[in-house]
């Protein structure tokens, strides 16, 4: 919630809430609310609804299809989506590749790719992580060798989220072995349906298929699909990671979990015959989570208040990434604790397709354990939280 919203902000929030009530499909909302895995069609259906309204890319400038919102309006939109149970769009094109192209791309690249990202004709994924690289992204080994008017790509990328939903990928590739490792990396755009691309699923600990390993065997990519200068991909990667670490820019989803947690503790869960909310130890944990949320939100609002065309987020994005992911994990832990034995078993088929018979316990309980397991990853991706601490120490403290 914005600290001191203007009359325009209040009116905009009312407009957003009305839109979400009217246009968010009930079946998609039910899947989100009950932790049922979203299908590609669910996400793309919501994408098309937002595209018709002109609200797909809040962070893009008007000249490339953005809605022209203020920072406050972007924050309100993201928060209300989370509170309403709207699904996240596949963000790699909208929140990552799009801003990179707007900032670094050629005019031809912008005119070709940006409209297709907006419409959903192209769905993107991110080719960064590799086996044996860990958090040392600059040690990547996937190569791109120049062959006339083509780049020929060989290597493999790991943990490629939503590659099975996507038709495009932006890649960090090594185009030079002679410079120091950060300077030999380039940023390349490729087709996932090109000859030589193989996508193999990785099922995570929650049992769901979200990530993949993608193999590139002599994949031929047009030379004009290189973004920026050869060997300058590391600068682009750092720019992109700032957008990724901020995620959606609000805590709407976490606020929804906290609100649901309060309801569980007050009505659905008991301790020695009394509502769990009356148990002092759990009530203290719940209060701590609420204070943590307010602290992260204050940090986020202060950081966003300093953003302008001349100044983008620096180490604030790293700080928000650390605290935001820790908060998300705390909330999923508390939900597990509140549900007790109802969180212990879960039925994978109900997690993917929903129940076709009365659920075991509350319907939403089936998604509690998978969510707890799934969100162990948030303190690792986009650079582990340990790496974030190192970045902050170097950039802000000079250590």
* DSSP structural state of residue 126: E
Give the angle subtended at the CA of 232 by the CAs of 228 and 236, to the nearest 5°.
Answer: 70
What one-character DSSP code corresponds to residue 135? Answer: T
State how far Cα 355 lies from the chain centre: 27
> What 3-state class would DSSP assign to 256?
helix
Q: How many residues does the chain have?
A: 399
Residue 244 annotated among the catalytic residues of the structure: yes
Strand intervals (E) in the chain? 124-127, 143-147, 150-157, 168-174, 185-191, 197-203, 209-222, 226-227, 270-271, 274-275
Burial (0-12, 13-18, 19+ Cβ within 10 Å), 112: middle
- The whole-angstrom separation of Cα 72 and Cα 95 is 17
What secondary structure does DSSP assign to 157-210, as a single string?
A: E-S-TTTTT-SEEEEEEE--SSS-GGGGEEEEEEETTSTTEEEEEEE-TTS-EE
Contact present, 125 and 163 (Cβ < 8 Å): yes
Q: Select which of 210, 244, 297, 337 is catalytic.
A: 244
According to DSSP, the residues that pair with 188 across neighbouring strands are: 171, 226
Which residues are part of the catalytic machinery? 244
């Amino acid at each position: 919630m914005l600290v001191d919203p203007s009359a325009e902000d209040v009116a905009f929030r009312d407009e957003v809430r009305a839109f979400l009530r009217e246009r968010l499909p009930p079946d998609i909302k039910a899947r989100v609310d009950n932790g049922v895995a979203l299908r590609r069609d669910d996400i793309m259906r919501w994408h098309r609804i937002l595209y018709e309204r002109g609200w797909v890319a809040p962070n893009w400038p008007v000249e490339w299809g953005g809605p022209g919102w203020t920072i406050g309006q972007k924050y309100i939109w993201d928060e209300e989506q989370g509170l309403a149970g709207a699904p996240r769009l596949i963000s790699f094109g909208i929140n990552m590749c799009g801003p990179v192209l707007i900032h670094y791309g050629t005019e031809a690249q912008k005119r070709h790719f940006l409209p297709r990202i907006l419409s959903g004709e192209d769905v993107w994924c991110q080719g960064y992580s590799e086996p044996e690289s860990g958090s040392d992204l600059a040690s990547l080994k996937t190569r791109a060798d120049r062959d006339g008017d083509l780049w020929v790509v060989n290597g493999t990328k790991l943990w490629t989220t939503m590659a099975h939903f996507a038709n495009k990928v932006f890649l960090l590739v090594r185009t030079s072995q002679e410079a120091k490792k950060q300077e030999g990396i380039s940023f390349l755009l490729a087709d996932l349906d090109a000859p030589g691309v193989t996508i193999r699923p990785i099922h995570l600990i929650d049992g769901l298929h979200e990530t993949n390993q993608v193999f590139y065997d002599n994949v031929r990519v047009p030379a004009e699909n290189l973004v920026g200068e050869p060997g300058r991909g590391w600068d682009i990667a750092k720019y992109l990671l700032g957008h990724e670490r901020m995620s959606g820019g609000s805590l709407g989803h976490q606020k929804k979990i906290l609100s649901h947690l309060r309801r569980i503790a007050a009505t659905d869960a008991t301790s020695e015959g009394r509502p769990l909310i009356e148990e002092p130890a759990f009530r203290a944990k719940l209060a701590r989570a609420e204070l943590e949320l307010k602290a992260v939100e204050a940090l986020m609002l202060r950081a966003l208040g300093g953003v302008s065309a001349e100044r983008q987020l620096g180490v604030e994005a790293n700080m928000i990434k650390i605290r935001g992911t820790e908060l998300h994990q705390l909330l999923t832990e508390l939900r597990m604790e509140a549900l007790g034995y109802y969180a212990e078993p879960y039925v994978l088929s109900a997690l993917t397709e929903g129940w076709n018979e009365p659920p075991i316990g509350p319907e939403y309980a089936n998604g509690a354990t998978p969510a707890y397991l799934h969100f162990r990853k948030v303190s690792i991706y986009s650079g582990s939280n340990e790496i974030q601490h190192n970045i902050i120490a170097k950039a802000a403290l000079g250590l």
